[in-house]
Amino acid sequence: MTKIKNKTVLVTGGANGIGKLIGEKCLKKGASKLIIWDINETLLQQVTTDLTKKGYEVHSYVVDVSDLNDIKTTAAEILAEIGTVDILFNNAGIVVGKKFEQHTTRDIEKTIGINVLGVMHVAHAFLPGMLQMHRGHIINIASATGLMPNPNMSVYVASKYAVLGWSESLRIEQDQAHSGVNVTTICPSYINTGMFEGAKAPLLTPILEPEYISNRIIEAVEKDEIMVMEPPIVRTLPALRGLLPARAFDYLASKVFNIYDSMSEFKGRPKDVAVPDKKKPVS
């Protein structure tokens, strides 16, 4: 069982949405230090100030997780000045909600860079310290879309397929090595944070509230759960897809559950601030 109390926790994409809630909940659980990475300097400064005023130890950095040099430089600074990270939440992610041919090459590269390479590179930077301590926990925020296709978000879906496969493979490697490092993969449906503004809830798949899913994630960490799939229907649909012929499942997903139409009116949240030229600590 993973104990959050007295641990050093790092959350990428931790200045808003479920990342912010996860960080706050870890501090309330007794985490000794919270390290927040985010690309939005304004929001990062706000959450750092708020949490510091409450007496918590918070270290915040403006980091673009699609930039390997940014990751390496910041990770080295943290390991030298703060110490080993005990619990890592790979939460940062972006979505482009449009047909594949409407994606720009930057859309494709940025989505894969943040959602896939960023997740792997951040874990790669902090895993050696966990292995040396023979303990640690890596939590990777994938998606229900990593379990099945969905039109109008093809590159995002591809990124979450990749995260799911990598995360599960990493978990098995750690289990086989008896390394003491736990890996948990989170596969939620749409969450009401603004990131999926305009997305329509499929049948039996309510839009998840941030408070609920962040609590569920913390619970999964404390219980060393392997995978979280929320809401419950998310556990069922991949099984149906495996059992039914492809066209039959397409009909079910499209005409009955309305999954394939869920992104047809997607708007998303307003664009974040521009990517900074280089990483700098906020506090």
Per-residue pLDDT reduced to its tens digit, 240-273: 999 999 999 999 999 999 999 999 999 998 654 3
Q: Known catalytic residues?
A: 156
The dihedral formed by the CA atoms of 263, 267, 269 and 270, expressed in degrees to the nearest 10: 150
70 occurs within a structural domain: yes
How much is the pLDDT for 272?
A: 42
81 occurs within a structural domain: yes
Residues listed for the chain: 283
Both tokens assigned to 92: 């940062």
Q: How far apart are CA 281 and CA 102, in angstroms?
A: 36
How much is the pLDDT for 275?
A: 40
1 occurs within a structural domain: no
Domains contained in the chain, number: 1
- Does 206 sit behind a cis peptide bond, omega within 30 degrees of 0 on the bond before it? no
226 occurs within a structural domain: yes
2 occurs within a structural domain: no
283 occurs within a structural domain: no
Segments of the chain with pLDDT less than 50 = 272-280, 283
Local structure of 182: helix, strand or coil: strand
Cβ-Cβ contacts under 8 Å for 68 (sequence gap 6 or more): 117, 121
How much is the pLDDT for 12?
A: 98
- CATH number (domain holding residue 75): 3.40.50.720
What angle separates helix 68-81 from helix 119-133, to the nearest 10 degrees? 30
Q: How far apart are CA 182 and CA 203, in angstroms?
A: 33
Contact in structure between 37 and 65 (CB atoms under 8 Å): yes
Task: Identify the domain containing residue 147 by its residue range.
Answer: 8-274
282 occurs within a structural domain: no
How much is the pLDDT for 269?
A: 80
99 occurs within a structural domain: yes
Both tokens assigned to 41: 């300097």
